[in-house]
């Protein structure tokens, strides 16, 4: 390389799933050349179902109309912001000003870095859950913030230990990342949890950043931290159409917060892109209109898959919560580590299941199955593991 990369890149590696998918692709090329079946991938949570048909129809119709292919407003269409506001009012009981308290995003993942750039200076501290979504840590490193992990433990229902948090040195902490229903553990959100987070954030002057993309998945009562009294003083919330509307590849998300917080995020975002494609915004408006029947059908399918994923865990000797929320099943390994079991399943049975260590030290004894695989695929994975003898 002619020049040296920025030092900030030394603090991160290529995303685990990016690296692993390249390895699996190479394995599949060899297997197919040898006349063997490819690896069954139960790793990434990429919904395999179809989005709502009104959204697809809106995309197709608007893409064929002249004038819809120009740059769009950085703040998104007023109609989309109103649709997000209506969605929050209808499902979460939260009133948001569509003009000032909502910012559409190119997926909610981008917001993790946008928020970090908007609010963190070099040396600022960030509370990051362990286990937790790896991007919380990588975004913090890229802006040269100091990561302070807080433990999530099974004995505490994968919720923060607030007594332990109060004993920590919180001087310099500006942001706390939370994620409920939790990924990877499937722990649900509760009103009590959100109330305690709001209280903690207000008393310590910490911005609570709640990542909430799984609130409709295997969860009968979607909750938002913004429904708590005083939440807008210290909280923001990320949400997305990726999971609950089978639209992961469309990259449509949003952040909701007090107007001043949104304004700061927009300062950074407006330097990074030139607005979301208008037909995508029009499609999102239609998707957000879906009623209870959409989510009932979605969750009926995920419940079937959760049972089948549980049978795989039974086979490999992993303990798990049969009633967990979200689109993953999280299982504790009785013998060895999660990475050892994951490697054995991949290299001996041709089934990839995510090792829990990638989510932090507290995930080392766990593995995770994505429910974004059709029932017949989960059954084939079970049969393949059984026939290869890779069991408890």
Q: Are residues 146 and 181 in the same domain?
A: yes
pLDDT in tens, 99-149: 999 999 998 889 999 999 999 999 999 999 999 999 999 999 999 999 999
Integer Cα distance of 338 and 354 in angstroms: 8
How deeply is 154 buried, as exposed, middle or buried, from its count of CB atoms within 10 A (0-12, 13-18, 19+)? middle
pLDDT in tens, 47-104: 999 999 999 999 999 999 999 999 999 999 999 999 999 999 999 999 999 999 999 9
In a domain? residue 5 = no
In a domain? residue 183 = yes
Of the candidates 387, 382, 386, the one whose C-alpha atom is nearest the C-alpha of residue 308 is 382
Tell me which of 249, 266, 287 is where a domain ends.
287
Tell me which of 253, 287, 321 is where a domain ends.
287
Q: Are residues 217 and 131 in the same domain?
A: yes
Q: Are residues 205 and 96 in the same domain?
A: yes
Of the candidates 174, 177, 176, the one whose C-alpha atom is nearest the C-alpha of residue 122 is 174
Q: Are residues 337 and 225 in the same domain?
A: no
Given a cut of 70, whether residue 18 has pLDDT beyond it is: yes
pLDDT in tens, 291-326: 999 999 999 999 999 999 999 999 999 999 999 999
Q: Give the model's pLDDT for residue 222.
A: 97
Q: Give the model's pLDDT for residue 301.
A: 98
Q: Are residues 242 and 220 in the same domain?
A: yes
Please report which confidence band the pLDDT of residue 16 belongs to, taking 50, 70 and 90 as the band edges.
confident
pLDDT in tens, 328-360: 999 999 877 899 999 999 999 999 999 999 999
Integer Cα distance of 168 and 175 in angstroms: 14
The pair of structure tokens assigned to 7 is 């030092």
Q: Give the model's pLDDT for residue 21.
A: 86
CATH number at 107 reads 3.40.640.10
Buried b (16+ CB within 10 A) or exposed e, 164-192: ebeeeebeebbbbbbbbbbbbbbbbbeee
Integer Cα distance of 253 and 281 in angstroms: 10
Q: Are residues 163 and 251 in the same domain?
A: yes
Given a cut of 70, whether residue 392 has pLDDT beyond it is: no
Q: Are residues 137 and 268 in the same domain?
A: yes
Of the candidates 264, 257, 242, 248, the one whose C-alpha atom is nearest the C-alpha of residue 88 is 257
Q: Are residues 226 and 340 in the same domain?
A: no
CATH number at 381 reads 3.90.1150.10
In a domain? residue 6 = no
pLDDT in tens, 185-196: 999 999 999 999
In a domain? residue 65 = no
Q: Are residues 212 and 157 in the same domain?
A: yes
Question: Range of 117's domain?
Answer: 70-287
Q: Are residues 191 and 338 in the same domain?
A: no
pLDDT in tens, 209-238: 999 999 999 998 999 999 999 999 999 999
Q: Are residues 160 and 263 in the same domain?
A: yes
For CA atoms 247, 248, 249, 255, give the dihedral sign. Answer: positive
Backbone torsions φ then ψ of 50, nearest 5 degrees: -80, 145
- Find all residues with CB under 8 Å of 119, minimum gap 6, and list them: 174, 175, 207, 264
Number of domains in the chain: 2
Q: Give the model's pLDDT for residue 7.
A: 84
In a domain? residue 184 = yes
Q: Are residues 321 and 384 in the same domain?
A: yes
**What is the β-pairing status of strands 125-130 and 173-179?**
parallel
Question: Treating both helix axes as pointing N-terminal to C-terminal, what angle do 278-287 and 53-63 enclose, rounded to 10 degrees?
Answer: 160
pLDDT in tens, 250-277: 999 999 999 999 999 999 999 999 999 9
In a domain? residue 56 = no
Tell me which of 261, 287, 313 is where a domain ends.
287
DSSP states along 101-117: SEEEESSSHHHHHHHHH
In a domain? residue 250 = yes
In a domain? residue 327 = yes
Does residue 181 have a cis peptide bond before it, meaning omega lies within 30 degrees of 0? yes
Given a cut of 90, whether residue 8 has pLDDT beyond it is: no
Integer Cα distance of 305 and 203 in angstroms: 42
């Amino acid at each position: 390389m002619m020049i040296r990369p920025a030092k900030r890149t030394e603090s991160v590696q290529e995303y685990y799933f990016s690296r692993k998918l390249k390895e699996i692709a190479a394995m599949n090329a060899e297997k197919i050349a040898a006349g063997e079946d490819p690896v069954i991938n139960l790793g990434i949570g990429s919904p395999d179902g179809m989005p709502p048909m009104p959204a697809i129809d809106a995309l197709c119709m608007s893409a064929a109309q002249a004038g819809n292919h120009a740059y769009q407003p950085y703040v998104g269409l007023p109609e989309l912001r109103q649709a997000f506001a209506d969605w929050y009012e209808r499902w979460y009981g939260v009133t948001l000003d569509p003009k000032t308290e909502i910012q559409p995003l190119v997926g909610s993942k981008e917001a993790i870095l946008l928020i970090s750039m908007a609010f963190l200076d070099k040396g600022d501290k960030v509370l990051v859950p362990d286990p937790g979504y790896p991007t919380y840590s990588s975004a913090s490193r890229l802006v040269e913030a100091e990561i302070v992990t807080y433990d999530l433990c099974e004995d505490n229902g994968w919720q923060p230990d607030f007594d332990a948090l109060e004993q920590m040195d919180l001087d310099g902490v500006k942001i706390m990342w939370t994620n409920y229903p939790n990924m990877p553990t499937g722990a649900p959100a509760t009103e009590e949890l959100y109330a305690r987070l709001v209280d903690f954030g207000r008393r310590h002057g910490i911005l609570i950043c709640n990542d909430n993309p799984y609130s409709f998945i295997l969860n009968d009562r979607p909750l938002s931290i913004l429904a708590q009294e005083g939440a807008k003083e210290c909280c923001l919330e990320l949400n997305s159409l990726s999971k609950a509307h089978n639209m992961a590849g469309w990259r449509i998300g949003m952040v909701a917060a007090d107007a001043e917080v949104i304004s700061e995020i927009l300062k950074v975002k407006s330097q990074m892109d030139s607005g979301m494609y208008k037909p995508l915004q029009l499609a999102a408006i239609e998707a957000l209109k879906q009623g209870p029947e959409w989510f009932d059908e979605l969750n009926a399918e995920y419940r079937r898959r959760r049972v089948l994923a549980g049978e795989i865990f039974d086979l490999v000797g992993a303990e798990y919560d049969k009633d967990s929320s979200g689109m993953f099943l999280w299982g504790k390994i009785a013998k060895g580590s999660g990475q050892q079991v994951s490697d054995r399943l991949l290299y001996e049975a041709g089934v990839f299941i995510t090792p829990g260590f990638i989510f932090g030290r507290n995930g080392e004894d766990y593995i995770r199955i994505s429910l974004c695989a059709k029932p017949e695929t989960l059954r084939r994975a079970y049969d393949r593991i059984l026939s290869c003898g890779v069991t408890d």
